[in-house]
Chain A
Amino acid sequence: AQSVSQHNHHVILSEAASLELGCNYSYGGTVNLFWYVQYPGQHLQLLLKYFSGDPLVKGIKGFEAEFIKSKFSFNLRKPSVQWSDTAEYFCAVDRSGGYQKVTFGTGTKLQVIP
């Protein structure tokens, strides 16, 4: 079965620190990859996505993610976090070529301390 693993469940950082959240998936075929974010009291929303082309994708608010096919990974990065980045982050995988069926990781809660 397709699975998505997020290694960090809770991350606490000071403002201006660099962020990297890990995401690995188990499916061996072609995939579409997403990072969603849920800010406190808000809907889940798309942060960035990869479906083809440049494996380094840039999203909103200075976030980026790198797809490394050989490692089945899609880690999320930001060089310098802000207090407003405090949220829960979900990695998600969709197997390309068929009907859309997205599998989510367990989520990582990021707390940024001013």
Chain B
Amino acid sequence: DGGITQSPKYLFRKEGQNVTLSCEQNLNHDAMYWYRQDPGQGLRLIYYSQIVNDFQKGDIAEGYSVSREKKESFPLTVTSAQKNPTAFYLCASSIGDPNEKLFFGSGTQLSVL
């Protein structure tokens, strides 16, 4: 089945530690996105990538980093500089046309120990 796979489903981070969230899609989509979902704040865009080897900061990129070395993969690293990392992280993809919808993964819940 085509879709977006996020792993792990739950992740715990210790103080000062970097952690990486995985996002893989087999939809052959050019565009991929990372959103952070907090209660009462909706989804906020962290980073997005329209094409391989290119990515742009979203609205809340500080403390995060990404790479896009392959079309199907868009991992997100939550660095130690992100002081409030506890949130639900959603990866999405699309063909990149503004008229088209986003396809979402099932999300990763990140918590700080």
Contacts and interface: CB of A to CB of B under 8 A. Distances in A.
- Physical interaction between A and B: yes
Interface of A: 1, 4, 6, 9, 32, 34, 36, 43-46, 49, 51, 90, 94-107
A82 B59 CA distance: 36
A34 to B, nearest CB: 7
Contacts of A9: 40
Contacts of B98: 32, 51, 94-100
Contacts of A51: 98-99
Contacts of A44: 90, 92, 102, 104
13 contacts: A1-B59, A44-B92, A46-B102, A49-B101, A51-B99, A90-B42, A95-B98, A97-B98, A98-B98, A100-B96, A100-B97, A100-B100, A107-B42
A97 B99 CA distance: 9
Contact of B102 (A4, A102, A106): A102
Interface stretch (B17-25, B43-51, B68-76): B43-51
A104 B101 contact: no
B94 interface: yes
Interface of B: 31, 33, 35, 40-45, 48, 50, 58-59, 90, 92, 94, 96-102, 104-106
A105 B90 contact: no
Contacts of B105: 43
A97 B16 CA distance: 41
Contacts of A96: 98-99
A9 B43 CA distance: 14
Contacts of A49: 99, 101
Q: Which of B96, B99, B101, B105 has the most CB of A within 10 A?
A: B101
A99 B42 contact: no
Contacts of A46: 101-102
A63 to B, nearest CB: 15
Contacts of A101: 45, 48, 58
